[in-house]
Amino acid sequence: MRVLFVCLGNICRSPTAEGILRHKLEEAGLAGRVTIDSCGTGDWHVGKAPDRRATAAAASRGIDLSAIRARQLDRADFERFDYLLAMDHGNLADLSAMRPKGCDAHVGLFLDFAGREGEAVPDPYYGAEDGFGEVLDLVEAAADGLVEDLRKRLGAAS
Catalytic positions, written as ranges: 7, 13, 123
Q: How many CA atoms lie within 13 A of 122 on its CB side?
A: 12
Element (H, E) at 103: none
Given a contact cutoff of 8 angstroms between Cβ atoms, the answer to whether 38 and 4 are in contact is yes
Sheet arrangement for strand 35-40: 35-40, 2-7, 83-86, 106-109
- Which residue type occupies 140? E
C-alpha–C-alpha distance, residues 51 and 22, integer Å? 18
Residue 35, phi then psi, degrees to nearest 5: -95, 135
Q: How many residues does the chain have?
A: 158
For 26, the 3-state DSSP assignment is: helix
